[in-house]
């Protein structure tokens, strides 16, 4: 049976993080969430964390050499799994080199991309509707979850500072310029599974599960 790297990609608001965690939990696949790793590294106040913070506080992109070190440190903790999930990584063409190094290091056979597509209009509506826990950064929908306190941390949910119209448009622009080319490049030699991110969480999860089961059989 083949060993695989499964990558979840999609614009903000598409629900890729939610779906990545659903799949990871159901099939007991270790997951690496790039954003979560960065946050933990900063909180640890380690040498790498301080370096990351110096870039993040001024809004600069974290160099790939630092990103690579953080991710490989996490992979070494996980070991050599049969399959592994990446949520929101790689985000730009240059980061593909890191993924290919990981593939070689873990002796993986294949890369599978799960892409959740969503219109900017719906994504903006979802982002405008969401609240976030300032501690664990779990997100909630005001209209669906109808809660104003984090179920895990039991503290008041907040609105992200950059969840405004101008910032959201900028993030979409960056996604189109940097992340879409990653999907296009990976589609040349790897499986790219497309899903409609506008559907309900439950329906998307069922569709992904059906598709991934077929992939994992081989």
Q: CATH number of the domain that 185 lies in? A: 3.40.50.300
Whether residue 90 is annotated as binding a ligand: the answer is: yes
Tell me if 85 is assigned to some domain: yes
- What pLDDT digit, counting tens, does each position of 172-190 carry? 888 899 999 999 999 888 8
Which pair of structure tokens corresponds to residue 88?
């929101």
Whether residue 14 is annotated as binding a ligand: the answer is: yes
Whether residue 17 is annotated as binding a ligand: the answer is: yes
The pLDDT score that the predictor gives to residue 74 is 93
Tell me if 32 is assigned to some domain: yes
In terms of pLDDT, which residue wins out, 55 or 99? 99
Distance CA 91, CA 215 (A): 23
Strands 130-132 and 4-10: unpaired
Tell me if 152 is assigned to some domain: no
Tell me if 72 is assigned to some domain: yes
Residue 24: domain span: 4-119+179-217
Whether residue 89 is annotated as binding a ligand: the answer is: yes
Whether residue 15 is annotated as binding a ligand: the answer is: yes
Domains in the chain, number: 1
Helix, strand, coil fractions of the chain, as percent rounded to 5 = 50, 15, 30
- What pLDDT digit, counting tens, does each position of 75-100 carry? 999 999 999 999 989 989 999 999 99
| Closest to 87 measured CA to CA, from 28, 135, 15 | 15
- What pLDDT digit, counting tens, does each position of 128-187 carry? 888 988 887 788 888 888 888 998 899 999 987 767 777 778 888 888 999 999 999 998
Whether residue 139 is annotated as binding a ligand: the answer is: no
Tell me if 203 is assigned to some domain: yes
Distance CA 46, CA 69 (A): 13
Which pair of structure tokens corresponds to residue 50?
């301080």
Model confidence, pTM:
0.88
Tell me if 173 is assigned to some domain: no
| Closest to 37 measured CA to CA, from 27, 46, 25 | 46
Tell me if 56 is assigned to some domain: yes
The pLDDT score that the predictor gives to residue 59 is 64
Q: Under a CB-based contact definition with an 8 Å cutoff, are residues 5 and 75 in contact?
A: no
Distance CA 136, CA 99 (A): 26
Tell me if 70 is assigned to some domain: yes
């Amino acid at each position: 049976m083949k060993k695989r790297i499964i990558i979840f990609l999609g614009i903000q608001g598409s629900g890729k993080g939610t779906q990545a965690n659903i799949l990871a939990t159901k099939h007991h696949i270790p997951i690496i969430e790039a954003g979560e790793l960065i946050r933990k590294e900063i909180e640890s106040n380690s040498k790498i964390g301080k370096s990351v913070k110096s870039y993040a506080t001024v809004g600069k992109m974290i160099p790939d050499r630092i990103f690579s070190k953080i991710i490989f440190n996490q992979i070494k903790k996980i070991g050599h799994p049969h399959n592994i999930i990446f949520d929101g990584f790689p985000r730009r063409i240059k980061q593909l080199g890191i993924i290919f190094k990981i593939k070689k290091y873990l002796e993986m056979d294949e890369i599978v991309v799960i892409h959740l597509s969503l219109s900017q209009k719906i994504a903006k509506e979802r982002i405008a509707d969401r609240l976030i826990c300032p501690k664990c950064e779990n997100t909630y929908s005001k209209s669906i979850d109808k809660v104003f306190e984090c179920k895990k941390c039991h503290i008041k949910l907040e609105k992200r500072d950059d969840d405004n119209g101008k910032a959201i448009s900028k993030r979409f622009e960056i996604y189109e310029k940097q992340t879409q080319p990653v999907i296009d490049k990976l589609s040349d030699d790897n499986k790219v599974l497309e899903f409609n991110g506008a559907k309900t969480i439950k329906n998307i999860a069922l569709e992904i599960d059906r598709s991934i089961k077929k992939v994992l059989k081989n």
